[in-house]
């Protein structure tokens, strides 16, 4: 380990630094706690308790921010659950603390080496944010469409899966609840202890997915077979044996023939008055129903055609947007600015200079970043913080160079260079537009170059906008020299 005061290499068993005499007993205890939390997080990650692992690794970094093993593992877990921006942030910080022999280089290179994968991650973040905005403003259908695309691009993006499941649950439909449970079951395999996933699954405990084993109901009581009916013996039937009537041939009669003819006539009459109208009515109903079904089918086809046209229009617009974004990533950034990947590289370079306490070079690198290409909130916050901490010092640095060039001092000793001074002083104002000293010397440069109008412009700006500046009296004096 390294001494916290002088950064000298010392063995872990030492209780005092041999270089500066620093007591290391408390520091050793802090390092031990950090390592214990890292080991706990590693064990939790092995059994896919990713939520618990994130908590343990964060605690490890609270005790020792230079624990690059813990930081790299935390980045890997963020990457596994779909939090790409958080993962990259951890790896960049790890790379700063350990510049050589660091696995973070390989992880960052893995993402940067594949432009298609980088584009996919960018689209995932944008679509998730758009879906979240739609859901917050009551447009659940649009949110579901966007989240389906997000889940297709990155099936392990836990937050997207949870939000899509929640939107399905809010519809109250059984089919959507089944879809929600399938999503939650899948992400529960990624992070087995995620409390949100567990709570949603508890809400869907009454929903069963096809293939799940369902507890069988208790078997119904066996129905008792009815007793066989007793057959009464012939002897017990009254008059069981009757006298057989002898055969007697009947005389032929025309009555049966007449009855048949009458029956046929009555049958035909019934068919004419009752059956045939019923058949015709039934056929008419069938024809009407067929026509109704045909009309509904035509209306449905028209609706489908209209829907397909709208969907084709939306897909065309989305394709144009993707082409535009693809051109920006290939090198045409928005309005001529840096591309997403170039801006990311410049930002990483600025972070490296900033952590090395080289604020001037950090500001120069940060100036090349295209702010419009930055979409993630954490990345924007990092950009803003470094800008606030470096721009003022960079402005002062360029002011001093401009003043030396004006006075012929420093590296310009004996050789006044007003044009070079103007270049430096304008750079100073670019980093800090309120630098009254830079404005004053710009006025002096233009006065020396016999350009009084430009000189007056800078002097008047000091008098009008910076009345509390120490340069006010000098600006007034120079204006009097110029005849104002």
For 225-275, how does the pLDDT look when each residue is reduced to its tens digit (9 = 90+)? 444 433 333 333 333 323 333 334 345 566 777 888 888 888 888 777 777
Q: Which domain CATH number covers 157?
A: 1.25.40.10
Same structural domain for residues 81 and 126? no
Reply yes or no on whether the pLDDT at 382 is more than 90.
no
The answer to whether residue 166 is domain-embedded is yes
d(CA 270, CA 375): 84
The answer to whether residue 12 is domain-embedded is no
Reply yes or no on whether the pLDDT at 438 is more than 90.
no
Same structural domain for residues 126 and 100? no
> Model-level pTM greater than 0.85?
no
Mean pLDDT of 349-377: 80
**Cβ neighbourhood burial of 393 (10 Å; 0-12, 13-18, 19+):** middle
Among 60, 89, 110, give the residue marking a domain's end. 110
d(CA 403, CA 409): 8
In this prediction, what percent of the chain has a pLDDT beyond 70? 82
Mean pLDDT of 308-333: 69
The answer to whether residue 482 is domain-embedded is no
Same structural domain for residues 122 and 106? no
- Tell which wins on pLDDT, 320 or 144: 144
- Tell which wins on pLDDT, 428 or 326: 428
The answer to whether residue 46 is domain-embedded is yes
33 neighbors 63 (Cβ within 8 angstroms): yes
For 99-117, how does the pLDDT look when each residue is reduced to its tens digit (9 = 90+)? 888 999 999 988 888 888 8
d(CA 271, CA 428): 108
pLDDT value at residue 338: 64
Please tell me the total count of domains within the chain: 2
Residue 139 structural domain: 118-203
pLDDT value at residue 44: 92
The answer to whether residue 58 is domain-embedded is yes
Same structural domain for residues 29 and 79? yes
Tokens encoding 160:
């997207």
pLDDT value at residue 254: 67
Rounded alpha-carbon distances, angstroms, from residue 68 to 340, 350, 367: 27, 20, 29
pLDDT value at residue 242: 34
Mean pLDDT of 468-476: 87
For 34-53, how does the pLDDT look when each residue is reduced to its tens digit (9 = 90+)? 899 999 999 999 999 999 99
Mean pLDDT of 163-181: 89
Residue 325: band (very low, low, confident or very high) from pLDDT cuts 50, 70, 90: low
Same structural domain for residues 61 and 99? yes
The answer to whether residue 336 is domain-embedded is no
Same structural domain for residues 104 and 123? no
Tokens encoding 360:
């001037």
Residue 363: band (very low, low, confident or very high) from pLDDT cuts 50, 70, 90: confident
Burial 132-147 (b: 16+ CB within 10 A, else e): bebbeeeebeebbebb
């Amino acid at each position: 380990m390294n001494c916290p005061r002088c950064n000298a290499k010392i063995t872990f068993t030492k209780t005092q630094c041999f270089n500066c005499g620093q007591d290391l007993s408390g520091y050793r205890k802090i390092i031990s706690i950090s390592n214990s939390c890292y080991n706990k997080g590693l064990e939790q990650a092995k059994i896919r308790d990713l939520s618990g692992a994130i908590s343990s690794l964060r605690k490890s970094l609270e005790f020792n921010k230079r624990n690059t093993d813990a930081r790299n593992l935390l980045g890997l877990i963020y990457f596994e659950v779909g939090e790409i921006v958080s993962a990259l942030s951890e790896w960049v910080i790890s790379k700063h603390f350990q510049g050589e022999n660091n696995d973070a280089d390989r992880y960052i290179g893995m993402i940067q080496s594949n432009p298609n994968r980088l584009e996919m991650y960018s689209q995932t973040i944008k679509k998730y944010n758009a879906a979240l905005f739609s859901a917050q403003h009551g447009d659940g259908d649009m949110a579901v469409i966007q989240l389906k695309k997000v889940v297709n691009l990155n099936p392990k993006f836990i937050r997207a899966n949870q939000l899509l499941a929640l939107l399905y649950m809010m519809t109250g439909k059984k089919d959507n609840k089944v879809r929600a449970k399938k999503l939650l079951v899948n992400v529960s395999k990624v992070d087995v202890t995620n409390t949100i996933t567990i709570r949603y699954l508890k809400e869907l405990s009454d929903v069963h997915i096809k293939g799940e084993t369902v507890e069988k109901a208790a078997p119904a009581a066996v129905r008792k077979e009815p007793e066989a009916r007793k057959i009464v013996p012939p002897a017990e039937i009254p008059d069981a044996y009757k006298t057989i009537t002898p055969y007697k041939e009947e005389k032929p009669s025309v009555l049966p023939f007449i009855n048949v003819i009458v029956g046929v006539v009555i049958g035909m009459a019934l068919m004419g008055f009752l059956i045939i109208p019923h058949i015709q009515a039934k056929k008419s109903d069938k024809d009407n129903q067929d026509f109704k079904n045909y009309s509904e089918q035509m209306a449905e086809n028209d609706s489908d055609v209209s829907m397909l046209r709208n969907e084709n229009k939306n897909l065309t617009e989305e394709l144009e947007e993707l082409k535009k974004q693809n051109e920006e990533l290939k090198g045409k950034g928005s309005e001529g600015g840096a591309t997403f990947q170039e801006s990311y590289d410049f930002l990483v370079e600025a972070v490296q200079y900033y952590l090395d306490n080289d604020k001037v070079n950090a500001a120069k690198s940060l100036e090349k970043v295209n702010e419009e290409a930055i979409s993630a909130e954490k990345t924007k916050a990092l950009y803003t913080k470094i800008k606030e901490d470096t721009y003022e010092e960079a402005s002062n640095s360029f002011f001093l160079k401009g003043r030396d060039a004006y006075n012929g001092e420093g590296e310009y000793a004996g050789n006044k260079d007003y044009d070079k001074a103007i270049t430096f002083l304008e750079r100073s104002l670019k980093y800090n537009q309120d630098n009254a000293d830079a404005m004053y010397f710009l006025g002096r440069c233009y006065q020396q170059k016999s350009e009084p109008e430009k000189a007056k412009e800078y002097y008047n700006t000091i008098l009008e906008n910076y009345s509390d500046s120490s340069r006010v009296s000098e600006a007034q004096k120079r204006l009097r020299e110029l005849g104002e």
